[in-house]
């Protein structure tokens, strides 16, 4: 990893603090970069205009006792990676060939969006229990790298 990886991972961690997720260990941040330039950012939270779990004072997933890495659809939040990709689409920014820095390894749903958006490299800091995501990303040639300081 080089100094740019360090800078963009630090930024992903700052952005994670903007999360409206109720769970303190699930504040996720993402930064999409190309040619050392920040294209978009994202953090996990409720869709625009919808009441967040932080505002509700409870987590839907914890209330239903859903284990991490399963049933991603059973959550009000849009993932950080999804928000960063959606922001690029909304703003008309091409992310083809870009790198995504994430605080956590993407889930399988995000992995499929990453692939189809043209992102070629994903750097993450913390693991996530989703081996299918790892398999799909690496099978199609997306570079998946664990960030080590």
Q: Which residues are annotated as a binding site for Zn(2+)?
A: 79, 107, 110
Give helix then strand counts, H and E, for the chain. 6, 5
In SS3 terms, 90-120 reads as HHCCCCCCCEEEEEECCCHHHHHHHHHHCCC
Residues of the binding site: 79, 107, 110
Which 8-state DSSP code applies to residue 28? -
Taking the CB of residue 6, how many other CB atoms lie within 10 A of it? Answer: 12
- Determine which one of 55, 81, 145, 148 is catalytic: 81
Q: How many CA atoms lie within 13 A of 124 on its CB side?
A: 20
Q: Give the angle 15-17-21 at the CA atoms, nearest 5°.
A: 115
**Whether residue 81 lies in the annotated active site:** yes
93: which 2 tokens?
């920014």
Are the beta carbons of 60 and 70 closer than 8 angstroms? no
Residues taking part in catalysis? 81
């Amino acid at each position: 990893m080089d100094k740019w990886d360090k800078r963009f991972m630090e930024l992903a961690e700052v952005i994670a603090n903007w999360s409206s997720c109720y769970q303190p260990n699930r504040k996720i941040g993402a930064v999409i970069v190309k040619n050392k330039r920040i294209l978009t950012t994202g953090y996990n939270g409720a869709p625009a205009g919808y009441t967040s779990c932080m505002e509700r004072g409870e987590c839907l997933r914890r209330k239903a006792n859903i284990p991490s890495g399963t049933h991603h659809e059973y959550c009000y939040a849009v993932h950080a990676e999804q928000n960063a990709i959606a922001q690029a689409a909304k703003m008309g920014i091409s992310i083809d060939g870009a790198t995504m820095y994430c605080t956590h390894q993407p889930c399988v749903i995000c992995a499929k969006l990453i692939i189809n958006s043209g992102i070629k490299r994903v750097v993450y800091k913390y693991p996530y229990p989703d081996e299918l995501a790892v398999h799909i990303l690496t099978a199609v040639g997306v570079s998946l790298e664990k960030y080590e300081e």
